[in-house]
Amino acid sequence: MELFIKRFENRPVDSNCFLIFNEQNTAVVIDPGTQDHTELYEFIAKENLKVEYCIITHGHFDHVYGIEDIVSRYDPKCVLSNESLAYIGNIKKNLSVFYGKQFSYQLQNYIAVCEDGYTINWDGHDLEFYHTKGHTDSCISCKINNDVFVGDLMIKGEKTVTKLPSGNKGMAEKSINTMLNLAGIEIIYGGHGEPMTKMEAKKFFFNEN
């Protein structure tokens, strides 16, 4: 069954929100970083989609700011790390206070990813989750078929930011290596900017051809 991927730009911070949907009209939202994201909601309504899952790659404000809206509108199961749960509920950890916001939210309907390789079957497609710490200790990545959604672990043309609280350069390098060596990976979708191929990522992050 074919999957469709549509990228939306989050605001006020320019980051990526992804909507993945299938021919059965069920959908997954990744990193809803915009409150009242009209463009996203209108597209979901136009395509008559049922949002079943919401994936949070990490707990920073620019990737979670719209989660309360998503939950109130669609009541999906949210998938994230235990660390991200704590970030979402803390204005300093999620960095919203540094953007002049006071965003915090307590999730109720969630699945905490506790082990690498944790898998959810979504209408015949496996959502595989991995802890990919480095940008923060809250980071997870999700592999779907030949694609992997990595949040801010890998951004096309940019070195991974590890200077924010709980960032770790060595762990980031280890996590990147793990993701690029997953079987079948072809396209990497980062938390900002355009997607990149596995070859592009290997060349940029490890100088491999």
Pairing state of beta strands 16-22 and 26-30?
A: antiparallel
Report the relative pairing of strands 26-30 and 50-55 from DSSP bridges. Answer: parallel
- Record the pTM: 0.97
| pLDDT score of 56 more than 70 | yes
pLDDT of residue 1: 75
Q: Which domains does the chain have, with CATH numbers?
A: 3-206 (3.60.15.10)
- CA 82 to chain CA centroid, nearest Å: 14
Residue 150 near residue 190 (C-beta atoms within 8 A) = yes
104-131 in b/e burial notation, b at 16+ Cβ within 10 A? beebeebeebeeeebebebeebebbbbb
pLDDT tens profile 94-136: 999 998 999 999 999 999 999 999 999 999 999 999 999 999 9
The first and second tokens of residue 164, run together, are 């924010």
Mean pLDDT across the stretch 82-95? Answer: 97
Instruction: Tell me the residue length of the chain.
Output: 209
Tokens representing 114 are 């506790």
Cα separation of 20 and 98, whole Å? 31
Q: Categorise residue 95: left if φ over 0, alpha if ψ from -120 to 50, beta otherwise.
A: left
Cα–Cα distance for residue pair 165/186, rounded to 1 Å = 31
**Which runs of consecutive H residues, i.e. helices, occur in 75-197?**
82-88, 169-180
Q: CB count, 10 Å around CB of 39?
A: 13
For residues 161 and 152, is the Cβ–Cβ distance under 8 A? yes
Report the distance separating Cα 205 and Cα 85, nearest Å.
29
Average pLDDT, integer, range 145-173:
97
* For range 162-170, the mean pLDDT: 97
| Ramachandran angles phi, psi of 157, nearest 5° | 80, 10
What percentage of the chain carries pLDDT values higher than 90?
Answer: 96
Statement: residue 209 has pLDDT above 70: no
